[in-house]
Amino acid sequence: MANPSPAKPAKRQGKGENPLVKGYLVAYNVSQMLGWMALLVIMLSHLITKRTVLGLYKQVEDILLICQTAAVLEILHSLVGLVRSNWVLTAFQVYSRVFLLWGVVWSVPAASEGIPVVLWFTAWTVTEIIRYSFYFFSLLPGEVPYLLVWLRYTLFIFLYPIGVTGELMSIFAALPVVKKNHMYSFDLPNKWNVSFNYYYYLCFIIFSYLPVFPQLYLHMFGQRRKVLGSRSNESPQKKEN
């Protein structure tokens, strides 16, 4: 799923006044931004030269796994107060993506091919390039460029549904394989006296999108009104002054 937007673009991410913290956050955001940019270039190169979506995931797999798994650090950033964001919401967002990559696409090759991968991969890539660019500029003196703010609070309108659609399609593609091979499941009796069925867990994940997606989507529209609305209201005031 897409990452939630903060209530308003800040000039500092949490404790950005601390030089060490600021330096670390700059390095982290720039590294992620460059990583996702590289992924976008690889995807475009593959689609242009190969003229097929087949094999795309294998081309981007290594860098994608590194960049997205590294996002787990953002949960720690929230927990220790390096950034101003809700760690629970951050953990949910990060988990949903990391789980899709490792628990579905990496685990079930059948779910790593076709249009579904292109949908969520494109949505993630564009979103993350904009998001990390936004965070990078928020750590610098002055305002975040308005175009970047506008893109961050506008493109989600299209990218979020596209990404969610691709994610669900990938999970659906994995279901038959998971059920047939009894993947990551264990039955009673066992020494832990606990049973777990991964197939039903994936079904639960699919159904969880129904209540969660609309809430997050509408929440992001609310953030868009707050941020872009406040910006538009400031412009006339500046002109009057």
- What are the residue numbers of the active site? 160, 167
Q: HEC profile for the chain?
A: CCCCCCCCCCCCCCCCCCHHHHHHHHHHHHHHHHHHHHHHHHHHHHHHHHCCCCCHHHHHHHHHHHHHHHCCHHHHHHHHCCCCCCHHHHHHHHHHHHHHHHHHHCCCHHHHCCHHHHHHHHHHHHHHHHHHHHHHHHCCCCCCCHHHHHHHCCCHHHHHHHHHHHHHHHHHHHHHHHHHHCCCCECCCCCCCCCECHHHHHHHHHHHHHHHHHHHHHHHHHHHHHHHHHHHHHHHHHHHC
